[in-house]
Structure 1
């Protein structure tokens, strides 16, 4: 099992990719697939009011990954 260690945000502040504990950099959509398949832990998938999926961290008090370091 892997965990999310770092995030990459676009110019609007939205997360576009993650770095995992094994050093892989994966897109937001790939992360959703891997979370659904049980490959990434300490996160959950929430459904927004518009039906889009959102990844939340369940480790600690930072569900929006604001305290996670940037990838680059």
Structure 2
């Protein structure tokens, strides 16, 4: 099963895509979909205040992807 290994952020610092352990680059929405289908390991889905699904990392205590390296 794949894990998230790197992130890509936009100029505002929001995550827009991920690189998986197999080298695939997937959008944030695709990652949410794959996590909901049980295809991504090491992440969990949470609902934000607007009712949207958000990804959190299980590898770090605060659940953020701040310590993940950048794709580029």
Provide the C-alpha distance between the structure 2 equivalents of 1:50 and 1:16, rounded to a whole number of angstroms.
18
Q: Which runs of 5+ in 2 are unaligned?
A: none
Distance in 2 separating the partners of 1:62 and 1:7: 16
The TM-score with structure 2 as length reference comes to 0.94
- Give RMSD over aligned pairs: 0.9
Aligned residues between the structures = 72
* Deviation beyond 3 Å, 4+ runs, structure 1: none
TM-score by length of 1: 0.94
Structure having the larger proportion of residues in strand: 2
Match in the other structure for 1:63: 63
| Alpha-carbon distance between aligned partners in 2 of 1:12 and 1:52, rounded to the nearest angstrom | 19
Change (3 A) 1:7 1:62: farther
Deviation of 1:61 after TM superposition, in Å, equals: 2.3
1:33 match: 33
Q: Within 5 Å, give how 1:41-60 maps onto structure 2.
A: 41-60=41-60
